[in-house]
Amino acid sequence: MKKRNLILYSIMKFNGDEHIDANCIDIKEQYEKGVCTCPLFCMTLVPECNPVVDKVTGLCDSYKKYKAKLDAMGVPSGVLMQATIGHGWKLAQLFPYQRYVDYKGGTERNVVCPYDEGFRDYIRNVAKTIAECRPSAIMIDDDFRLLTREGAGCACPLHMKKFNEIAGTNFTREELFDAISKGDEKSKEYYDIFVRINHEPIKEVAQIIREEIDKVDPYIQGSYCCGGFNAIHDAEVAKILSGEKNPVVIRLNNGHYSTQGTRYYSYDSYRAARQAIKLRKYADYVLAETDTCPQNRYSTTAHALHSHFTCSLMEGVAGAKQWLTRTPYEPESGIAYRKILAKHRDFYEEIARIAPTLKWRGFTCYFPADPEVEFHYSPGDAWITHALEVLGLPVAFTDEVKNACVYNGENVKYLTHEEIIKLLSGKFIIAGDTAKTLIEMGYGEYLGVNVRKWEGPTAMGEKIYANGVRTGVQKNGLEIVPIADGVEALSMVVNSTYGAPVKDLYPGAVRYKNSLGGTVYTFSGTPAVMHNIMEGYSFLTYSRKQQLIQILKECGEDLVYFPGDEEIYLKVAEMTDGGYFVSIINECADPVEEIELVVNKKVKKVFKLNEKGERVKVKFTQNGDKITLKQSAVVLNPVILFIY
């Protein structure tokens, strides 16, 4: 048997003594078939009632019954502390501790402030009681956070007292909000203090939890679930909770909950990559959040789970926290999940083994190097998540400026001057709102254009020069005004009135080779639109795809792509042995009977990764730069190819 390295936690619920035997048999099968390496029993421990009810004793009594049976079966087990300070949900009765007060709006939430000493005594006893059960692992869920929850941090009386002590002020929450909102140097000082006082109590309570665990056994593996994108702070908490004697284990925040339809898998990849790129510098094991909430196939299909996990593995995770089991006793709802995960266990292991060696290519979403920027920075991901994801063109996520970087939105203003110059010196594809922001920042000379609100005749369509076909006008389109020699139009926005000649208005997209040596492609509008009857289909057309293929080729990123109109989420990478790694996820209900690809080299052989993690040959024919594979791609069933 191949060596298996993934950490796979499977969340289980207590649902009555009458189901213990059946549940333990299920867990043993998950363990033996590779669905999980350790089940974690869910304990919702947010304090409730006044006086606070003792939840942990009863929950640990239930856990001890399971643990005894699983120990006898040779199966390790652990605990998920699924709510500590609380997710903010309804409570049977409110706790007596200080509540979280959100910084932005002043709303009190059903969440405990971790500065409260009474709560600290409560959670110390909880951790002690769980540790005394001697579980193999204890995971703390993602309610254990402040800055990344609704309201952007706690500004309760305890937090305001701490803030005023440090800052030498006497602010109310409202005054603090106003002071930080001014955006001056003092604002930065105040914001840094606010961040600090929201991070420190989380670390202090994490230390309390870990101290109680260590008193029993310092080798009990701890772990932490990220609650947002701020990697460095989450890594600090994970390090404390994991324990000094153990590897640092952290779960990403990239759940794919009950989405409408089959799209947005690239957003799961984007979230995984954005966190994992940074967390791998601090953690030994980064896990995906492959939650099927609410744990049945009407919410999340088995193939959706399979695709989600596969996408996450390609972004460098080393396992997952899987939630495959319903809270009520309903074993039928988890059969398909268990079956597909067991079937592909070695497939997952092989992807995890290969992923760190891959050099991803294509249209690329860049994440800034500074982790502190994560509090207010969101990269322009809509190029990928709203358009390129289904166009069958290769996409990538990276913290390096390389390939053909894409950007939309105004948050480019949070990048450093050095980062912006690097982007402008390479291949850079930007939306109109990004161009406007860069021009306002003084970088207009490198774009070769100005942009402004269009005040002329109604824009009725856009003629794509790549194939001469007219398509829909881009959403939120701005007038592109060339200001330098050498600006070349790739399309033209037009007005057409019945019976009158078509009138050119302004370029819809342009190319400009600037003095830095870079090539900037500026689009008038934005790909950040919804997939509804009108908005989504200025970018989601075959003609727009021809324009993007032209750009892909000019940027030298056309290693592999789909020439047709299938809805394909495509990732392409160079391998160390000279081959191309190709991931294909069909997001359309139409099956692809035979995969047709354009490849930029003469193809000698093609392999696919089978469910056993083995490479098997795929028959193909080649006609010019196109290859046709005797291989299908059905909805949300990843096809992994190796092309040589």
Cα dihedral 184, 188, 191, 192, rounded to 10, equals -170
Q: Which amino acid is at 63?
A: Y
Q: What's residue 373's pLDDT? A: 47
Q: Is residue 451 predicted with pLDDT exceeding 90? A: yes
* The model's pTM: 0.92
Residues 294-302, mean pLDDT to the nearest whole number: 82
626-629, strands of its sheet edge to edge: 560-561, 595-599, 626-629, 620-623
Q: What's residue 416's pLDDT? A: 87
Q: What's residue 126's pLDDT? A: 96
Q: What is the pLDDT of residues 242-261, one digit of tens each?
A: 999 999 999 998 887 766 67
Average pLDDT, the chain: 91
Q: Is residue 295 predicted with pLDDT exceeding 90? A: no
Residues 377-399, mean pLDDT to the nearest whole number: 84
DSSP one-letter code for 304: H
DSSP one-letter code for 258: S
d(CA 152, CA 255): 20
Phi-psi region of 24 (alpha: psi -120 to 50; beta: other; left: phi over 0): alpha
CB-based contacts of 604-608 (< 8 A; 24+ apart in sequence): 604/644, 605/644, 606/641, 606/642, 606/643, 606/644, 607/641, 607/642, 607/644, 608/639, 608/640, 608/641, 608/642
CA torsion sign for 36, 40, 41, 46 is negative
> Which residue in the block uniquely carries the two structure tokens 């420190």?
200
Q: Contact, 627 vs 620, CB < 8 A?
A: yes
Written as six digits, the tokens of 110 are 């059903």
**What percent of the chain shows pLDDT beyond 70?**
96
* Alpha carbon of residue 87 to chain centroid: 20
Q: What's residue 15's pLDDT? A: 81
Q: What is the pLDDT of residues 536-546, one digit of tens each?
A: 688 899 999 99
Comparing C-alpha atoms, which of 301, 323, 309, 251 is closest to residue 10? 323
Flag the least confident range among 55-59, 63-67, 135-139, 470-474. Answer: 470-474
Q: Is residue 375 predicted with pLDDT exceeding 50? A: no
Confidence of residue 18 (pLDDT cuts 50, 70, 90): confident
- E-strand stretches of 488-643: 488-495, 503-513, 519-523, 560-561, 568-574, 580-586, 595-599, 606-609, 615-617, 620-623, 626-629, 639-643
Q: How far is CA 293 from CA 12, 304, 334, 439, in A?
A: 13, 12, 12, 44
Q: Is residue 157 predicted with pLDDT exceeding 70? A: yes
Confidence of residue 611 (pLDDT cuts 50, 70, 90): very high
| Neighbour-count burial for 563-597, b at 16+ CB within 10 Å, e otherwise | eeebbbbbbbbeeeeebbbbbbbbbbeeebeebbb
Q: What's residue 260's pLDDT? A: 67
Q: Is residue 381 predicted with pLDDT exceeding 90? A: no
Element spanning 109, H or E: strand 108-112
Comparing C-alpha atoms, which of 142, 588, 148 is closest to residue 392? 588
